[in-house]
Structure 1
Amino acid sequence: MGGVVGKAESPKKASVPETKLEAKMVEAMQRRSSQGTNVKSFNSIILKFPKIDESLRNCKEIFEQFDEDSNGAIDQEEMKKCFHKLEISFSEEEINDLFKACDINEDMGMKFNEFNVLLCLVYLLKNGQNSLQTKSPMGLPNLEATFETLVNAFVFLDKNKDGYVSKSEMVEAINETTSGERSSGRIAMKRFEEMDWDKNGMVNFKEFLFAFTRWCGIDDNDDEDEGEGKEKN
């Protein structure tokens, strides 16, 4: 167990945002955390998986609408048009940062699950800016209810309200639900490892969202025609 030294053990670095975008994301989540959450247990989040899955799959139409060359990915130009249509205003730098953050395969195109994460991040950032919610920030009221559920789920896990979920917070959240079952620690660790894909010991909202789309099964179909997607067999 004690074989990993050095890089994995740098929690100080973990709480320093790596990009301006991450700093904004963390700040928006801290503001949101201070308002509390209506999520009572990790199980209640799991029970919402099917509904969230169904709602996110409905993004497919939006995705296809903006994937103008129908190549199964949205490039940066297509993303700008999408933002324009949805009346989402970001600076050029923010658009570049968002694209880079969500294009995790770095193949210069966002796949469907990456697009879902993008929209949810936009929701968090835009909602944080206008606390007077006179108008839905993206003009997608049905989807926004789902995004709000995801934000609430993260706030529930982020016990100390610092905009990140740590391993101990994940263990605490799962222990609350399973009340001392012996397997709960293992479940918490597995879920945490699935989220913390840069292995820095802290999970930000973007990492949480990517894990969530996998848990719900959103990206199962999206890898069918890719070589590396076949490794499950």
Structure 2
Amino acid sequence: MGAAVTKSEALQKEWVPETKLEAKIIEAVQRRASRGTTMKSFNSIVLKFPKIDDGLRNCKVIFQEFDIDSNGSIDHSELKNCLRKLEISFEEDEISDLFKACDINEDMGITFTEFIVLLCLVYLLKDDSSTLQKQWRLGMPKLEPTFETLVDTFVFLDENKDGYVSREEMVRAIDESGERSSGRIAMKRFEEMDWDKNGMVNFKEFLFAFTQWVGIDENEEEDDDDNNGKA
């Protein structure tokens, strides 16, 4: 007899994506999940944090290159220029949807942390694009494996492969790590991911939380800029 389905997992199965972009992301995650995951445990993920942190910081080179006015954020026109120079083809409405999805504070600008999330979403959506792979291999050799690790981590957590991580999936993943306080840790991690508090975490929410877990934040970026100015 199979395990009983919890209320939140039942709701998760009935969840309908709110936007066309979210539907595309779910489809892309599920395609990627069909190839399996190399992650064996939550502990194996934690051990990768330093390497992921190092890889994500390489995004700053691209960010600074396309922040034409050097105001600390990328506007809609700068984003279009960025994607064009990276030879990544998106329709106008897709670019607008990406911009809106990643502009969390709705200030009409993509900050560095938001840019990391945006690039990873682009990687997921275009992971079959030979042009994209060629560009990133030539220009940013650490980006592709870093983004692949993030996708691989989400696939590991998304046990039922429906494109979302539920609270129960997070608890099971961390319970298997053997930590004494695994339940409390799992709940804290899940709350950090579940920004809209609907009991389910999509790939975008996961990415924003992960940048915080590995130590990428906007305040640190501002401190770096201040220190560079004093040098």
Give the shorter-chain TM-score range.
0.7 to 0.9
Query: C-alpha separation between the residues in 2 aligned to 1:135 and 1:117?
Result: 20
Correspondence list, 1:173-188, <5 A? 173-178=173-178, 181-188=179-186
Cα distance, 1:136–1:189 mapped onto 2, change above 3 Å = same
Correspondence list, 1:95-106, <5 A? 95-106=95-106
Conserved? CA contact 1:14–1:201, under 8 Å: no
Conserved? CA contact 2:12–2:200, under 8 Å: no
- How many residue pairs end up in the alignment? 211
Conserved? CA contact 2:87–2:132, under 8 Å: no
Conserved? CA contact 1:28–1:124, under 8 Å: yes
Structure 2 partner of 1:69: 69
Query: C-alpha separation between the residues in 1 aligned to 2:190 and 2:172?
Result: 12
Structure 2 partner of 1:80: 80
Report how far residue 76 of structure 1 moved: 0.5
Cα distance, 1:135–1:76 mapped onto 2, change above 3 Å = closer
Correspondence list, 1:142-153, <5 A? 142=141, 143-153=143-153
Report how far residue 216 of structure 1 moved: 1.0
Regions of 4+ moved over 4 Å: 133-136
Report how far residue 13 of structure 1 moved: 9.2
Conserved? CA contact 1:33–1:155, under 8 Å: yes
More deviation, 57-66/213-222 = 213-222
Report how far residue 212 of structure 1 moved: 0.4
Report how far residue 96 of structure 1 moved: 0.2
Structure 2 partner of 1:192: 190
Structure 2 unaligned regions, length at least 5? 1-7, 225-231
Superposed CA deviations along residues 8-49 of structure 1, whole A, max 9, x for unmatched, are 9x9369721111000000011011111110000111111111
Correspondence list, 1:151-170, <5 A? 151-170=151-170
Structure 1 partner of 2:3: none
Give the root-mean-square deviation of aligned CA atoms.
2.0
Structure 1 unaligned regions, length at least 5? 1-7, 226-233
Find 1:139's aligned residue among 132, 135, 138. 135
Among all aligned residue pairs of Structure 1 and Structure 2, give the percentage whose two residues are the same amino acid: 70
Query: C-alpha separation between the residues in 2 aligned to 1:14 and 1:62?
Result: 39
Conserved? CA contact 1:15–1:202, under 8 Å: no
Cα distance, 1:61–1:134 mapped onto 2, change above 3 Å = closer
Report how far residue 177 of structure 1 moved: 1.2
For normalisation by structure 2, the TM-score amounts to 0.86
Conserved? CA contact 1:66–1:82, under 8 Å: yes
Superposed CA deviations along residues 90-119 of structure 1, whole A, max 9, x for unmatched, are 000000000000010101001101000000
Cα distance, 1:207–1:122 mapped onto 2, change above 3 Å = same
Conserved? CA contact 2:53–2:216, under 8 Å: yes
SS class of match (1:81): helix
For normalisation by structure 1, the TM-score amounts to 0.85
